[in-house]
């Protein structure tokens, strides 16, 4: 019979795990419930699921992903709302974390809390894992007493980030695959197929059309100077990475991202949705407005939007309203600024921010679908044009020489 790994919570709130042998997952669940414990999770140990867990358990020491942090927050929220204190909740969650590095981080946080530090203060020691938004929302909940509810809100916020990131990455995968196939096919034809025909054209170069001569020169260069091509590509990639990590280079790149025809609408929706969602969560959590604006600028993801929010920060610091400096910017649509202004006047700014974020999240999904739908035929046509041009450059000289022979 197969084995099942389970996680339960007893009447005292203590979380534990174990392994049970049963004929089916239903049988295993019933047997566990008959012990009087609350079943929290049960999964088969064998098969692909078990293999995946074992591989993750012995995986390389990578830092936690955003999804790992989301799962951690979700489990912590469930335990806190069930009445388990923060120390017991952290201990129970740490036992279930498969990422060794993240587990050690959670254990250090647990030690800090046991030594008398607040949970939010212990999170600040790990800024690469827990963002300022995360820490400030937790700190606000500690002051207001709605810790479990706030953790649930943070989980929903992280889930939205994970979903958005997955959609954007998913939209890039297909074009990347098609581009790789096009480049690979072109290289194969130039370095393997075309040289087979070179012998037929020997001594008759004056009769060959210009496209064929150009392809023969490129083919010869790729076969004899391939290391130059690899070096040039490596140098360009290295130069690009270096430049986007400089202030001026990042500015140029972030401006370019908002001007690329197919992607500018998608990225604009992404930046607006991210900013509005961040502000809405922080305002509703009770975080001071200046701190909210600073965090929103930090997580904006684009230098232009970061500067926009910092301009708002400086204006609010001097006593101005949020909508006034935003109205002087061109990065937000006028209707968004009007809604923010209305939210400020009515005292419902957090709710307005959330509504704007939801609208642009939907627009982002629709834009990603539209971009993907447009890229697919464009990439196929481009790949067909490149391969067709190479094939034509090979075949035309053969037809031309055949006609001369006749």
Give the Cα-Cα-Cα angle 327, 367, 167 (nearest 5 degrees): 110
Whole-number Cα distances in Å, 300 to 46, 103, 118, 326, 370: 43, 29, 28, 15, 24
d(CA 209, CA 144): 79
Which H/E stretch holds residue 9? Answer: strand 3-9
The reply to whether 258 falls in a domain is yes
Per-residue confidence of the chain (406 residues) as pLDDT tens digits? 667 777 776 666 566 677 887 776 667 777 877 777 766 667 666 544 454 454 444 444 567 888 889 999 998 888 888 888 888 888 888 888 888 888 889 989 988 888 888 898 899 888 888 888 888 888 888 877 778 888 888 888 888 888 878 877 877 787 788 788 878 888 888 888 778 777 677 677 677 778 888 888 888 888 888 899 899 999 999 999 999 888 888 999 999 988 887 788 888 888 888 888 888 888 888 888 888 898 888 888 889 999 999 999 999 999 888 988 888 888 888 888 899 999 888 888 888 888 888 888 888 888 888 877 787 788 788 888 887 888 787 777 777 666 655 4
Q: Which of 31, 58, 85 is the last residue of a domain?
A: 58
Q: Note whether 386 and 182 are within 8 A (CB).
A: yes
Q: Are 39 and 32 in contact (CB under 8 A)?
A: yes
pLDDT number for residue 235 = 95
Quick check: is 91 in a domain?
no
The domain spanning residue 206 has which CATH number? 1.20.81.30
- Strand locations in 33-175, DSSP E? 38-44
Q: Which two tokens stand for residue 304?
A: 């232009």
Domain assignment of residue 382, yes or no: yes
**Are 29 and 174 in a shared domain?**
no
Domain boundaries, position 324: 169-406
Domain contains 115: no
Please report the pLDDT score of residue 51 as a whole number: 46
Q: Do 217 and 338 reside in the same domain of the chain?
A: yes
Q: Tokens 């993240």 identify what position?
A: 102
Helices (H), 245-263: 247-257
Q: Let me know if residue 94 belongs to a domain.
A: no
pLDDT of residue 234: 94
Residue 84 located in a structural domain: no
Q: Which of 88, 75, 126 is nearest to 10 (CA)?
A: 88
**In CATH, what number is assigned to the domain containing residue 28?**
3.10.20
Tell me, yes or no, whether 51 and 176 share the same domain. no
73 domain residue, yes or no: no
Question: According to the model, what pLDDT value does residue 60 have?
Answer: 41
> Do residues 403 and 258 share a domain?
yes
Q: How distant is the alpha carbon of residue 38 from its chain centre? A: 35
Structurally, the chain folds into a number of domains equal to 2
Domain C-terminal end among 15, 40, 58:
58
Last residue of a domain, one of 38, 58, 78: 58
Q: Is the pTM of this model over 0.75?
A: no
Sign of CA dihedral 350, 353, 359, 364: negative
Residue 202 lies in a domain: yes
Give the Cα separation of 228 and 238 in Å (integer).
15
Return the ∠ at Cα 47 (arms to 46 and 49), rounded to 5°.
90
pLDDT of residue 189: 81
Q: Quick one: 296 and 177 in the same domain?
A: yes
- Beta strands 38-44 and 3-9: pairing type? antiparallel
Say whether both 51 and 191 belong to one domain.
no
């Amino acid at each position: 019979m197969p084995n099942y790994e389970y996680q339960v919570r007893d009447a005292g709130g203590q979380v534990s795990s174990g392994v049970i042998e049963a004929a089916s997952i239903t049988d295993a669940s019933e047997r566990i419930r008959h012990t009087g414990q609350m079943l929290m999770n049960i999964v088969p140990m064998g098969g692909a699921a078990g293999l995946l867990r074992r591989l993750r358990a012995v995986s390389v020491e990578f830092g936690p992903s955003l999804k790992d942090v989301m799962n951690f927050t979700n489990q912590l929220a469930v335990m806190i709302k069930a009445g388990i204190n923060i120390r017991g909740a952290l201990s129970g969650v740490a036992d279930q974390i498969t990422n060794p590095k993240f587990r050690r981080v959670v254990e250090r946080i647990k030690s800090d809390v046991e030594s008398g530090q607040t949970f939010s203060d212990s999170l600040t020691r790990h800024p690469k894992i827990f963002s300022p938004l995360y820490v400030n929302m937790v700190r606000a909940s500690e002051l207001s007493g709605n810790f479990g509810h706030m953790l649930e809100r943070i989980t929903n916020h992280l889930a939205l980030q994970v979903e958005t990131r997955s959609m954007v990455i998913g939209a890039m995968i297909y074009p990347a695959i098609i581009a790789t196939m096009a480049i690979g096919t072109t290289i194969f034809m130039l370095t393997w197929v075309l040289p087979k025909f070179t012998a037929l054209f020997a001594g008759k170069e004056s009769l060959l059309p210009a496209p064929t001569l150009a392809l023969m020169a490129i083919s010869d260069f790729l076969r004899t100077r391939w290391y130059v091509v690899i070096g040039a590509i490596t140098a360009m990639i290295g130069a690009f990475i270096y430049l986007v990590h400089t202030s001026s280079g990042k500015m140029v790149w972030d401006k370019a991202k908002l001007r690329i025809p197919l992607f500018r609408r998608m990225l604009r929706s992404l930046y607006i949705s991210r900013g509005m969602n961040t502000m809405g969560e922080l305002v509703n959590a009770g975080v001071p407005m200046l701190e909210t604006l600073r965090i929103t600028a930090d997580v904006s993801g684009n230098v232009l939007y970061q500067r926009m929010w910092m301009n708002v920060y400086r204006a609010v610091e001097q006593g101005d309203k949020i909508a006034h400096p935003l109205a002087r910017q061109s990065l937000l649509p006028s209707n968004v600024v009007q809604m923010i202004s209305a939210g400020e006047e009515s005292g419902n700014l957090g709710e307005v921010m959330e509504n704007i974020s939801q609208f642009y999240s939907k627009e982002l999904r629709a834009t990603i679908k539209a971009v993907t739908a447009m890229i697919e035929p464009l990439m196929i046509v481009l790949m067909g044009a490149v391969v067709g041009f190479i094939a034509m450059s090979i075949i035309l000289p053969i037809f031309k020489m055949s006609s001369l022979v006749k």
